[in-house]
Structure 1
Amino acid sequence: MKYRKTNTRILLLLGAIVFSQSCVSQVSKNLFNGKDLDGWHIDVPTMDSIPSAINPFIVRDGMLVSLGTPQGHLITDKIYKNYRLEIAYRFVAEPGNCGVLVHASTPRSLYKMFPKSIEVQMMHEHAGDFWCIVEDIVTDNMIERRGPKEHWGITEGKARRVKNLTDGSEKPLGEWNTMIIECLEDKVKVWVNGDLVNYGYNATVDKGQIAIQAEGSEVAFSKIMLSPITKMSGTTPE
C-alpha cells in the first residue's frame, strides 16, 4: 500500500511539472530583449559582397532600431503559429518605409531580397496594407483594394498590394504607434492604434518566422511582444 502511495505521489508530481512547463511555454514574451539581437538573425544581401557594409539593425537605448539601409531583414530564429504580435514603433526622423513580415520562410524569394511571407506594411500613411510576397491572402472587396483581378499575383511585376481599410490611424510623425497583428490558422488581422485596419483569410501559409525590414527609413521599436492565441479578437485587443 505504501509503495502504491509513493508511486501515485511521484506521478502527480511529474504531472504537475509537465503542466507547469506547458503553461510557461504559453505565456507572452518580448521577442526583443532590449540588450542584443539574441533569437534573431540578419539577411542583408549587400553584406555578402561589401565586407564594410554596416549591419542596419542595432540596439540603441534599449530599443531595436532599423536604420533603413542597407536594405534587408532581421528574422526570428524560431517559427511561430497562432499568435498575437504587439509592436510599438515610430519613425525616428524622416517618414518612409518599413514593415513586419509574418509567416516568413524561404529567404530572398522576391527581387533577391524578400523572404516568402505576408508583409504587414508600416510605411507612413499606409500602415496595415498587406503585401503578398510569394504567398497570398484574400480580403473582402478585393477588386477595389487590389485592382483588376487579371493583374493579381505574388511575384515580381504583379499586383501584390492589398490596401488597408483606413489610412488615418497613424499618430503624428515622431510619436509612438501601436500595431497589433493576430495570426490564427489562415487568417491575419491588423490593428493600428486601436483601429482595425485589415483582415485577411485563406492565406496560403499559416506559420513561419517573423521579420522586421530595413527598407529606407530609420524606425525604432520599443516592444515586439508575442502571445499565443486560440481565437481571434472580435474588437480591439486590450
Structure 2
Amino acid sequence: MSNIVDIRQLHRSFGGPAILDGIDLTIAPGEFVALLGRSGSGKSTLLRVLSGLDAAPAEKLEIPSRRSVVFQEPRLLPWKSVKDNVALGVKTPDSRSRASQALADVALSHRQDAWPLTLSGGEAQRAALARALVREPALLLLDEPFAALDALTRLRMHDLVFELWRKHKPAVLLVTHDVWEAVALADRILVLDQGRIAREIRIDAPHPRRRSDPQLTLVETELLQELGVEPSHA
C-alpha cells in the first residue's frame, strides 16, 4: 500500500537559516509516528506544512486532503455548545448525529450540551479530539495536545488516544516534547534537529507499554541523550 504522506526535499526558511532543510518524510496508512526535537528544531513548522496552514517548496509533497489537527489549546468556540463545536466543518445532513457519536467515543456524551468554558482541561481536549475525528481524517496531526494537562489527566489521554487510533485507524503524527509519551504511543519516532531528521527509531513492543520494560527504558534513554538530556535529570 502506498504511503499516505510522502514528502521529499522539503525546505522552509523565513529570511534566515533554514528551519526545514531538505526533509524527507513518509507515513504509511494507519501508522503512528511521533516527532521529537528541541525548541526551534522545526517541529511546528513541519506540522503547519502537513496541516496545510503553511505552504513550502518541496520536490515532492503528497498529503491527504482528509486531515485534522488537534492543538495544545482546544480552540473551542465559547458561544457554541460542545456538540456544535464538534459538528463544525461537517457538511452532511447527519452532522449532529455524527458529532454525538464522536463525543460518545471520547466519553463526553453527558457534556454535549455544555458550554466550553464549563469544561475541565481534559474534557476540553477530549472535545477537540472528537471534533478532529468526526471528519474521519486519513491523517490526524497532534500538536502537543497534552502539554497543558496535569500528569494524571495526561496519562488518561494517552490511553484514550491509543484506543481512538485503534478504532478509527488514521495515520497519526504526534509532535511532543515528552520522550516517554512518544515511546508509549508511537510505532516510529523521529528526532528533528536543525531542520533535518537526525534519528529514526521503530518500536515493536506491544501495548500497553510500561516504563518498567527494560527495552523501552533503553529506547527512552537513547532518545533523551539524542536530545541532549541526561536521563538522571529527566
Give the number of the structure whose residues are more often helix, by fraction. 2
Max radius of gyration: which structure? 1
Give the TM-score of the pair, scaled to structure 1. Answer: 0.31
Give the number of the structure whose residues are more often strand, by fraction. 1
